[in-house]
Amino acid sequence: MPFHIYPHRKESGPENMASDFWLFHKANSGSPIFRHYGWIKPEITFGYGQDWNWIKKQEIGKSKKITRRPTGGGIVKHGADWTYTLILPSEHPSFFIPALDLYEKMHGAIGLVLAKQGYETKLMPCPLTGEKKKGIPGDCFLEPVGRDLMTATGLNKLAGAAMKRTKIGILIQGTIDLTSIENLDLVEFQCSFISELSKLVCEETKVIEWPERFLKERSLYVNQFASVSWRENRKLS
Whether the Cβ atoms of residue 137 and residue 143 lie closer than 8 Å to each other: yes
Beta strand 3-11 pairing with 66-68? unpaired
* Alpha helix positions (H), the chain: 13-26, 52-55, 99-116, 186-201, 214-225, 228-233
d(CA 6, CA 3): 10
The full set of domain ranges for the chain reads: 3-228
Average pLDDT value for residue range 122-130: 70
pLDDT digits (tens, 9 = 90+) for 93-108: 999 999 989 999 999 9
CA 27, chain centre distance (Å): 18
Rg value, the chain, Cα:
17
Task: Output the pLDDT for position 182.
Answer: 87
pLDDT digits (tens, 9 = 90+) for 35-58: 999 999 999 999 999 999 999 888
- Judged against a pLDDT cut of 50, whether residue 19 lies above it is answered with yes
Task: Output the pLDDT for position 26.
Answer: 84
Task: Output the pLDDT for position 62.
Answer: 81
| More confident call, 62 vs 131 | 62
Confidence of residue 76 (pLDDT cuts 50, 70, 90): very high
| More confident call, 21 vs 64 | 21
Whether the Cβ atoms of residue 228 and residue 30 lie closer than 8 Å to each other: no
Task: Output the pLDDT for position 143.
Answer: 67
Task: Output the pLDDT for position 140.
Answer: 66
- Judged against a pLDDT cut of 90, whether residue 161 lies above it is answered with yes
* Angle made by CA atoms 91, 97, 101, in degrees to the nearest 5: 155
CATH superfamily for 3-228 is Bira Bifunctional Protein; Domain 2 (3.30.930.10)
Q: What pTM does this model have?
A: 0.92
Contacts of 59 (CB under 8 A, 6+ apart): none
- Annotate 145-193 with DSSP letters as a single string: -TT-EEETTSSSEEEEEEEEE-SSEEEEEEEEEGGG--S--HHHHHHHH
- Judged against a pLDDT cut of 80, whether residue 83 lies above it is answered with yes
Query: Helix axis angle, 214-225 relative to 13-26, nearest 10°?
Result: 120
Task: Output the pLDDT for position 127.
Answer: 61
- Judged against a pLDDT cut of 90, whether residue 235 lies above it is answered with no
